[in-house]
Amino acid sequence: MTYLINEHEVERLTFPDGEWAELRKYLTQEATDRITNALVEAGAKVRETHKPEASINLNLGKMAALQEYIAGWSFADGGNPLPVTRENINLLQPKYRNLIVTRINELTAAADEFVVKNA
């Protein structure tokens, strides 16, 4: 039995047009903490300002999750591979980004279920 996760283990999510993204199956504790910290920071801003537009900051948690989970992809510009960066993730068309977010939600739900069963 192995006690450590393989942070490099990925699964390929293939889109209807044949493009793909590789998502990490497991996140390290540090990666999980970065996502949590982004969510806590965003929530603090909302509470601090009491402004409805501050709730947009809650999406920082989604961006943090996308940055941590996406390990690679097939997207290219003029034959040149596009690096997985915050800027490029931000510019992803919703038809790709939404499917990635859906799969991340499935991965995290499965992980949460495992923890509850084995706690």
Residues 7-52: pLDDT tens digits?
A: 889 999 999 999 999 999 988 889 888 888 877 776 666 666 665 5
**Tell me, what's the pLDDT at 90?**
94
**Tokens found for residue 84:** 């997985």
State the Cα–Cα distance between residues 82 and 95, nearest whole angstrom.
17
Q: How confident is the model at residue 57 (pLDDT cuts 50, 70, 90)?
A: very low
Global pTM reads 0.76
Which pLDDT belongs to residue 22? 98
Task: Compute the half-sphere exposure of residue 29: CA atoms within 13 Å on the CB side of its CA.
Answer: 1
CA–CA distance, 64 with 50 (Å, rounded to integer): 23
